[in-house]
Structure 1
């Protein structure tokens, strides 16, 4: 028996299928999941999600979100899930540069929500760039 992994974004289902293991970018660090894992719900931070399916390891850049784990199933709800071939390096670099410039121009009294939004853009852009550059 194996695990069933679902990766869902607001726009589409990025993956649905049987896997033998999953590595998640948890809020407190990387989290490895095998069949029979204790049930849990955890926050995800932008980073790399890896899973093994059919003897092949697949890596995706994911954004923030949540993962629900049961003994036979993992449901990942995230705001971004991209494979290496879906990442446009130039666009990711440009988005990160714009967010860094906007963040640098903000004063200490500016909206904390806007700061968090810009930091999220930077983190998601970094996740994409790290995956794309490692694949070269």
Structure 2
């Protein structure tokens, strides 16, 4: 399964770097995408990823002042995904402070396992992107 990880660009991305520097392995099918903050992501970004064949999406936020906001937004996104026929379980969130970088390997392994269990995602009508989700 293909997993797209939106990674906050300072703290969470540094945590991802530490995973590599410490030679910890996470699934090869995780594609990290640098973003200034996951708080800036819109539901349309997530839906677009699924419409292009991504099996699961992860949001990794490292800025402590934004953790609760991003958690709340992920819950809202999950509710909306359920409404449009996409399994909300395919969207995950974790905080990613640098000292906790080791947990990222397990996080991605669990996400990969879940995506394998669910199989391919259902087709999404991309016209909802134009209507505004």
Regarding TM over 0.5, the answer is: no
Higher helix share: 2
Task: For CA contacts below 8 A with separation 6 or more, give which structure has more relative contact order.
Answer: 2
TM bin, normalised by shorter chain, reads: under 0.3
Q: Which is greater in Rg?
A: 1
Higher strand share: 1
Structure 2-normalised TM-score?
A: 0.24
